Every structure is written in structure tokens, then in C-alpha cells.
A and B are shown apart, each in its own frame.
Chain A
Amino acid sequence: MQQYLFLIPALPLLGFLVLSMAGKHLSRNLIAGIGAGSICAAALVALVLSASFLQSPPESGAYTQILWNWFLTGHLSADISLRVDALSLVFICIITFIGALIHIYSAEFMRQDRDYARFFASMNLFVCAMLTLVMADNLVLMYLGWEGVGLCSYLLIGFWYETPGNYRAANKAFVITRIGDTAMIIGLFLLFKELGTLYIPDILTKATEHFNSGSSTITLIALLLLSGGIGKSAQLPLQTWLPDAMAGPSPVSALIHAATMVTAGVYLIARMHTLFELSPTAMHITAIIGAVTLFIAGCSAMVQTDIKRILAYSTISQIGYMFLALGVGAWSAAIFHFFTHAFFKALLFLAAGAVIEVLHHEHDIFKMGGLRKKMPVIYYTFTIGAAALAALPLVTAGFFSKDQILWYAWSADGGHPLLWAIGLAGAFITALYSTRLILVVFFGEMKTTPGHLPGAAMTVPLVILAFFSVAVGWIEWPHNLLHVSLFSEHVEHALPATTLKAGLPPEIVFQLIAVGVSLFGIYSGYVLYYGESPLLMRWKQSQGLMDVRNFLFKGWKFDQLYDTLLVRPFLFITRINKADVSDKLYTAIADINLHLNKLFSVSQNGSLRWYVTGVLVGILFIITLQLLL
């Protein structure tokens, strides 16, 4: 199996190359066939790979394939080489499998678009880059994938570049993630300086010998890597790009800004877990960032009116849960939440895309309403997705992963009751806005007449994703309920097991509280948004509450904050420095030469007599010098 590893990223790359070079001359059917086909083929290879991995795990814990030496300078050697261990395998499966479903969905969704080939070319390149990111065995190649997904994200957010504002959203995403990327590459430099290698398995083994636990160097490295993750995964304080990134087509939001790319930060931290374990400070900061982000983004999701922005804020919030889990040392719980979240959030985005399409590009949920009867398939699948998001107990995947995180947020070694409390508040908010979403969009009276309903290529992926949004939870049960923990057993080949504190209350208490909070959230949503709610009416009258609502609606005004703190001062400096002070020296040199040139060119006047005199004066000068010296 090992020798076929390269096929997984190579097939999407091939699709990208064919589509980008010959895309203009191909028919739409062929473009869809190549675009979706390459990902489906990669998914098949990944399926065979995981089957063989699960049946007979390789002795070293990973499949490896060295393709060629990329470059070699001094002690730094970077190979184009792939390494698939238990952790990468989870990511590969999600990327190829969900990627394939989303590509099939896009084949119909984007059918009318002028740039059909460009869309699939970019999507294929994205899948290729994302696979490179998770399969790389050294951090240089991983960084290549890391920047590759950033590029594709930029290209696809700005896909409809003719609409004003879209390119702005694309630029914003690119620039803000660049802040994190810069920190991350500095982290890589430091790591190389300390350990002399960027080969991932070497780093993980050498780090424990080289660094003292909690030393300032390792903390700095871990924090720099964390910053990279924060930028890519839209965590506080670099979260502001993700809601705007919804300018891209819905399948892009589903694939890049929900299921895969934004979880690259989670992957990075999990991959570098040894470094983080050596630095308790970095771990605490990760957990705190996750907790604060999940709360802040959840609050914003509660009051948004654009269906995709609700989901975007919810994505930020769910990734916050993953960071929280990583920070408390619950590695497998974080990856498990990534796993379930990828299914239900991709489902929600695709279903939302279908709703928007049917309602003639209407994004405002308060102009939707009453769609339950008109589009039953989308209604049921969307409801399943929202239920998973709200962590409806036992029947949805979201419950199993979120419950695990909440339990570890208190009980794991790095856990703290406060983290647990924030997570619990987040769970309440999540349940509330999920319910609000369903009730406002699908119940009540119809406000926009639906158009043409989506065909099978769009509904079948929805149904498949809905099935998995329910079913994947059952592979990992809470320890006290049922002894099924296939997922954590698998992931713990690559990641350390979670250690628990001593002397805790029984787990069932936490579970009951979490279940109660989720159900209470759903009930609150029902009370507030089912039909005309007198309570909501009264709240709308109150000026103070509306101010709070507007504050949350604007995403806690982070954009304004950054605008005042960074953008305006920067623009001010550029305005007063329009002539560029540092250029003065160089322009001065050029100016002096120009003046000398003007001075001397006076002597070249075309008069032969003048030249002869010049020669004569020169000769006399030289002779005089000879005589004098």
C-alpha cells in the first residue's frame, strides 16, 4: 500500500493541471467529470489505504513514502516525502471523502457559472494542497501545503470577483492569515535553530531530550506555532476574516471554511503535541483562547441574520471547542470533534447553499420561513445537521464529541472548572442558535416563493452527510455508558492518551448537566422563535438590549477595533509618508547625476571649433603639468 501513497495528493493535482490548462476547451460534463472524478478517485485510494492501515497497522506506526529530495542546503534537507500515521489518516479520510461529496454537489450547484472550469481547478488544487499539508513528513513541505490552502482559500473567496466587496473579503482573509503564518514560520526557524531538523518524527523525539519542560524557548516556539494555528483556524484575536469569507460560493464555505482548511490549526497543534506538552503555559493559553473564542463567536452567531454568517460564527465557535480540548490535553477528543464537526458543518453549509439557491440568492433568514413542506429533503437533512450542532443527546454525532470535550475541560490534567463553565455556556448558546436557525428558516409563514428545487447531485450528498452526522458518533461512546471507543484507540496510536485528575465527581453528573443545558438551549430557542413570541417582542422594545444585540451582530466590534488600532494609523503613516522618506537618499543620488549630466552636455554643442579648442586646452594642460612636475 505504501507505494501508492503519492496517488492521494497527485490525483487532485492532475485534475487541477488538466482543468487549468485545457479547461476552456472542455464541455461542462467533462469538467465536472474531471473535477469531481479526481477527488472521488483520491477518496477511493484513501479508503483502501485506511482499510489496510486498520487491518494491519504498520510496525513503525506510519506508512512512509519518499518521492524525491526537494532541496539540500547546509544541514537543512527537505524531502518531498509523505508520512501517514493514525492522525493524518483521519484528516485524509475527511478531506477526500467530504471533498468528494462536495465536488459532486458543486457539479450541479455551479452548473450555470461562467467559470465552471476555474472553480473546479481551484477546488482540486485546494484538496491537493490540504492533503500535502496533512501528509507531509517534514515541516517545510507542510508549510508548502499550508500556504497552498491559503492561496486557494483566497482564490475561492474571491471567486465571484466582479461583485464589489468579494475581493475585499478575499484580501482580508489572506492578510489576516498571513499574520499567523509569519509567526509560524518564525517558529519553524527557531525550531530548526534549536533542534537542527524539521523532520517531524525527529522533532518529536528530540524535543523531549533537548528542552526542559516549561523553558522559555519551548514556550516561545509553541506560542509561535499556536499563532499560526490561530490565524488559519480563525481563533481570537485573528477570527475576523472567517465571517467575511462567506463571500465565496457555498461549496467553498463547506469544504474550506468549515470542514477542512480552518481545522489546519488543530492539526498543527496535534501534530506538534510533544512541543505543547513541554510547555504548560502554551497549553493553558491554547485552552483559554479556545474557550473565549467559542463563547464570543457563539454570542455573535446568536444574532446574525445572514444564514451563512450564522454558520461561519458557529464554525469559529466549534473550532474554539477543539482548541479548548487541545489546550487541556484531550488530544483525541479534539480530533474527534473535528471528525464529527466536518460532517455536520459541511452538511449545514451545503444545505444552506441549496436553500439560498432555491430562494433566488436570498441570504437573510428572516425573509425565508415556511420551507418545511416545500423542500422536505433539505429540511430533514438541515435539521439533522443542526441537531448535531446543538448536540442533541445520543442520536447525533455532535453530542458524543462535545460531551467528551466538556468532560475533559474539567477533568483532564490541564482542565479547570472555569473552562468547563464557559464550554457549557457555549453549548447552551449553540443549541439556542441552532434551534433559531431551524425555526426561522423552515417554520412560520413563507416569505419568498421557492424556485426550482435541487436535483439528485445536490440532494444525495446531503443525505449521505446527514447519515454520517448521526452515525459517526457511535464509534466513540462515553466510557461510563458503553465500551466502544474505536476512534480514540485509533488516534492514540499517534497521540498521547488523556490523563485525568484524581478525585472527580462521577462522569454521569457532567453528562446529565451537559444534556440538560443542551435541551434547555433548544427549549429556549423554541420559546423565543416559534411563532410570535411576546418575550422577544418585549426585548426588541428595549434600547439597551438592542445595543447589546448590535454589538454582538458586529462580531463584538473587532473589525472596528482593528480598524482604529491598526488600519487607520497605518493609513495615516502612509499618507504623511507619501513621498517615502527612506527613498530620499536614492533619489538624491539620481538627481545629482542628472544635474551633472545637464552641466556637461552644454559642452557638446556641435561646433567643431569648440571641440578643437577643448582638445588644445587639454593638451596645454597636460604639457604644463609635465613641465611643472
Chain B
Amino acid sequence: MSTVHAHTVLIVAAILFVLGLAGVLTRKNIIFMLISIEIMLNAAGLAFVAAGARWQQADGQIMYLFILAMAAAEVSVALALVLQIQHQHKTLDVEQLTALKD
């Protein structure tokens, strides 16, 4: 069984996280921003699993299950909001959704 070094996995997780972050910052469409957030969450989950494997602790996997459940809940709420936004503003472009400003 070939072992994977923990810091290799962490590097992958970091790359995933930065990719997600870049997506959030650059995408205009709100659905793509959501997908990017999912990627960031998964990056965090990957880091937890890697850490759990490194120290032989179950905590990392348990945290990943939490993150999974949380992500599912978040997506369902977020998609419902997206539907409402589409319904009311007829757009999903965050540049135009500025009703919350001062």
C-alpha cells in the first residue's frame, strides 16, 4: 500500500481552496459562486481527512461528515434563495444585485 504524504494532500487541498476562492471572487453568476464555495468546503474537508489519517484519529473523518451535512443544508437554502432572486430580479448577476447597499 503506497502511502501518500499528508503534506501532499494538504497542497492539493490548498490548491482546491484557492481555486474556489478565485471562483468566488471572479465569477459574476451567483450559481457559479455557489459551486466555488462548494469547492472551498471540499478543500477544507480534504484537509480534515488528511489530518485524520496523519495522526490516526477519527476526528478528521467525523468533521468531514459534518461538513458534508452542512454543505447539503447550505446548498438547499442557497438554491432556494437563488430561485427567489431569479424570480424577483430577473437576473443572477451579482454586479446588479446591489439592493443591500447603504
Contacts and interface: CB of A to CB of B under 8 A. Distances in A.
Interface of A: 601-602, 604-609, 612-613, 616
Q: How large is the interface on B (under 10, 10 to 19, 20 to 34, 35 or more residues)?
A: 10 to 19
B102 A601 contact: yes
A470 B100 CA distance: 89
Given A607-B94, A608-B94, A613 B99 contact: no
Given A612-B25, A613-B25, A616-B21, A605 B94 contact: no
A606 B99 contact: yes
Contacts of B97: 606, 608
B24 interface: yes
Given A606-B97, A606-B99, A609-B94, 4 more contacts: A604-B102, A607-B94, A608-B33, A616-B25
Contacts of A601: 102
Contact of B101 (A604, A613, A616): A604
A6 to B, nearest CB: 65
A184 to B, nearest CB: 57
Nearest to A597: B102
Contact of A606 (B21, B25, B33, B98): B98
A604 B102 CA distance: 6
Q: By DSSP majority rule, is chain A's interface helix, strand, loop, or mixed?
A: helix
Nearest to B101: A606
Nearest to A603: B102
B99 to A, nearest CB: 7
B30 to A, nearest CB: 8
**In the complex, the 7 A-B pairs of residues with the closest C-beta atoms, listed nearest first:** A606-B101, A606-B98, A601-B102, A604-B102, A608-B94, A605-B101, A606-B100
A607 B97 CA distance: 7
Interface in B42-76: none
A456 B25 CA distance: 99
Interface string B1-38: 00000000000000000000100110000000100000
Contacts of A604: 100-102
B83 to A, nearest CB: 17
Nearest to A608: B94
Nearest to B95: A607
A354 B98 CA distance: 80
A607 B98 contact: yes
A613 to B, nearest CB: 7
Contact of B102 (A605, A608, A609, A616): A605
A616 B22 CA distance: 11
A613 B21 CA distance: 10
A602 B33 CA distance: 24
Interface in B82-98: 94-95, 97-98
14 contacts: A605-B101, A605-B102, A606-B100, A606-B101, A606-B102, A607-B98, A607-B101, A608-B33, A609-B25, A609-B94, A612-B25, A613-B25, A616-B21, A616-B25
A604 B99 CA distance: 11
Contacts of B25: 609, 612-613, 616
A612 B101 CA distance: 14
Question: Which interface residue of A601, A602, A612, A613 has the most chain B CB atoms within 10 A?
Answer: A612
